[in-house]
Amino acid sequence: MKHAALPSRILSSAWLLLSLLCLAWGSSLAQTSDLSAAQLMAGVKAARPLGGVYTRIRIEHDAGGGAEPVILQAQLKRRDHPGGGSDHLYQILFPAERKGEGLLLHINGTHVTGSIRDGSGIRPLTGKDRSQPLFGTTLMIEDLIAEFLNWPGPEALGTEEIDRVPCRRIRLQRPSGSASALRQVELWVDEKRYVTQRIDAWTGRGDAPDRRVETDKVVRGANDYFIPASFTVRDLHSSAATRVEGVRSVSDVSYTDADFEPAALGEVSGPPRS
């Protein structure tokens, strides 16, 4: 097991965080405006972490309307399977009264199974759960699944600046037979750094997007990858917003099958020691 040190600790944590939440990836691939939408999407996905990883994150949710923000500390565990697919375990560490709330996901392409632990115990994940908020925040469970990254036929919509960063705009639409809670997604990709600067998501039938993910800070990580150090998810129908940032991470973690079984939701532990 390797513990990353500052500043790499923060960088790898953010890279891992964004990859685990399946919201955005960045890389230092060839910098050209001649790439097709499909090639840009391949570049966006290129920086997924491999192997066993563990990270802690800070989540600040503001429900709007003058309500006091909710601060959560959580941990994420992830591993890849040699034959494809991955396991993900998300658990709240703080506040104490919510410690142990969690979500377990097994993702292999468009096939997703899992379990949820809430106040009523541990139960299997259902299709309806995909549209539910993660830990009561603006994040959705669907964000963690991120099936949209594999939708066919990405469409290039031209170029646009986001916070003075030139980006390529790409549209993805849910294919027939998909179980995704999202109908359509648009991404603004910084083609020089292959970082997703903005993601708009449609869940309903309206013409306007329902939620927006904005990258707050980008840094250069290990192996020349550019990574979002933090991001904010906004409900575009209200003033609710959730900011997520990495705190620390551990790489090269050796997990066992037991670490990703439903029973693992019944206890909260850090990464296994090698």
**Torsion angles phi and psi, residue 111, rounded to 5:** -90, 120
Instruction: Give 254's contacts (C-beta < 8 A, 6+ positions apart).
Output: 1, 52, 272, 274
| pLDDT at residue 248 tops 50 | yes
- Ranges of each domain in the chain: 2-266
pLDDT digits 0-9 by tens, 178-222? 999 999 999 998 877 778 899 999 998 889 999 999 988 776 655
56: alpha, beta or left? (left if phi > 0; alpha if psi -120 to 50): beta
Task: Output the CA angle 224-228-73, nearest 5 degrees.
Answer: 125
Distance (Å, rounded) from C-alpha 243 to C-alpha 192?
Answer: 25
What pLDDT is attached to residue 201?
96
Write out the two tokens for 254: 């050796």
2-266 fold? outer membrane lipoprotein receptor (LolB), chain A (2.50.20)
Residue 122, beta-bridge partner list: 117
What pLDDT is attached to residue 221?
57
What pLDDT is attached to residue 13?
36
At residue 92, the 3 state secondary structure works out as strand
Average pLDDT over residues 219-241: 79
Q: Of 6-10, 182-186, 266-270, where does mean pLDDT reach its minimum?
A: 6-10
For tokens 């869940």, the residue is 203
What mean pLDDT, rounded, does the chain reach?
Answer: 84
Burial (CB < 10 A; 0-12, 13-18, 19+), residue 109, is exposed
Burial pattern 148-159, b for ≥16 Cβ within 10 A else e, equals bbebeebeeeee
- Which segment, 44-48, 87-91, 192-196, 270-274, is predicted with the most confidence on average? 87-91
pLDDT digits 0-9 by tens, 102-149? 999 999 888 899 999 998 899 999 999 999 999 999 999 999 988 888
Q: Is the pTM of this model over 0.85?
A: no
